[in-house]
């Protein structure tokens, strides 16, 4: 190809050079150029993103690119790759561009209807599984399930768990249901649409409640990275004036749906540990439990036990 950039339209579909010095856009050359380009554009983890997007276009795994370095993708693949790179630089998250994100041993479908799963949230799943391990056929409720990454991961790892996943967004629930089918747990995950406990049948109780609620303060939304602020669902981010609105609602409404002695695990944002604990401490139903840190050492998950 005669051009010096894989993002420029090709003048010919011929995949090899015809004149001395002409660039051959092998997989290795494409990744090297794109990594440098994304770096200049300020994209985080540019090498990883370049690999994810190219692997998606070629229909292979990232690791497969290593053994295909000398392969020269055809112009159709190169055109698709060019379009994805341009959209990524324009601010679209890579997970939405490729339609998936890896989370806790599994790959989940994601669309703009759901929050993109983060590695930090794996802390919530890990601690939930520790609690559930000794239980027989535990009942679990995931509030605000989004993509279903928490509910499906728990059901996938705890084979006898019966999981309820609720969300106020019908579009999010459709994505979560597809993820449950994808990972073979659809028979053990029930999906309910509604706000908090509204869709839960009267008198039903759970052994464990988990949630990654919206916890970004409204004044901080504009400061989020553009790919988050402009593309991820606002309803999954907006935690009210101080970022704590959803925690107040949880503290005041869900205790009747948790078995006496049962546990609730909640993900929190930076600097919110004490504030969230204080909210729950004001209710006699709740006993404040430990806080669990994520891989970076930051407080990430707070625990509460129903005591009354």
Which amino acids are annotated as binding site for S-adenosyl-L-methionine, given as ranges?
A: 144-148, 167, 212
Q: Among candidates 147, 159, 123, 137, which has minimal Cα distance to 265?
A: 123
Residue 201: DSSP 8-state: P
| Residue recorded with tokens 């101080």 | 242
| Count of Cβ atoms closer than 10 Å to residue 195 Cβ | 13
Can you say which residues are annotated as belonging to the binding site? 144-148, 167, 212-215
**Category of 203 on φ-ψ map: left (φ > 0), alpha (ψ -120 to 50) or beta:** left
Strands lying side by side in the sheet with 206-211 = 189-193, 162-167, 139-143, 206-211, 258-267, 299-306, 286-293
Q: Give the C-alpha separation, 13 to 10, whole Å.
A: 7
Cβ atoms of residues 79 and 6 within 8 Å: no
Can you say which residues are annotated as belonging to the binding site for substrate? 212-215
Strands 286-293 and 299-306: antiparallel
Q: Give the C-alpha separation, 72 to 27, whole Å.
A: 6
| Count of Cβ atoms closer than 10 Å to residue 141 Cβ | 28
């Amino acid at each position: 190809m005669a051009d010096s950039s894989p993002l420029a339209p090709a003048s010919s579909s011929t995949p090899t050079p015809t004149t001395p010095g002409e660039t051959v856009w092998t997989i290795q050359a494409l990744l090297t150029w794109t990594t440098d380009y994304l770096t200049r554009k300020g994209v985080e983890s540019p090498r990883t993103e370049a690999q994810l997007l190219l692997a998606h276009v070629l229909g292979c795994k990232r690791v497969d690119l290593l053994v295909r370095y000398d392969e020269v993708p055809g112009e159709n693949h190169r055109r698709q790759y060019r379009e994805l790179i341009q959209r990524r630089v324009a601010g679209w998250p890579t997970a939405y561009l490729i339609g998936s994100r890896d989370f806790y041993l599994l790959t989940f479908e994601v669309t703009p209807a759901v929050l993109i799963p983060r590695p930090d949230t794996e802390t919530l799943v890990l601690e939930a599984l520790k609690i559930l391990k000794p239980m027989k056929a535990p009942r679990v409720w995931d509030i605000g399930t989004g993509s279903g990454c928490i509910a499906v991961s728990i059901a996938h790892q705890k084979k006898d768990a019966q999981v309820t996943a609720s969300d106020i967004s019908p579009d999010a629930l459709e994505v979560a249901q597809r993820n449950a089918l994808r990972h073979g747990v659809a028979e053990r995950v029930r999906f309910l649409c509604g706000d908090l406990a509204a869709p839960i049948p009267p008198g039903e109780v759970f052994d464990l409640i988990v949630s990654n609620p919206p916890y970004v303060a409204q004044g901080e939304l504009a400061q989020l990275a553009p790919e988050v602020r402009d593309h991820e669902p606002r309803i999954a981010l907006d935690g009210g004036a101080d970022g704590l609105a959803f925690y107040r609602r949880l503290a005041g409404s869900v205790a009747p749906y948790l078995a006496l002695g049962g546990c609730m695990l909640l993900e929190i944002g930076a600097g919110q540990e004490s504030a969230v604990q204080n909210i729950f401490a004001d209710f006699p139903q709740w006993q404040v439990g430990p806080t669990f840190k994520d891989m970076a050492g930051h407080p990430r998950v707070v625990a509460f036990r129903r005591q009354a």
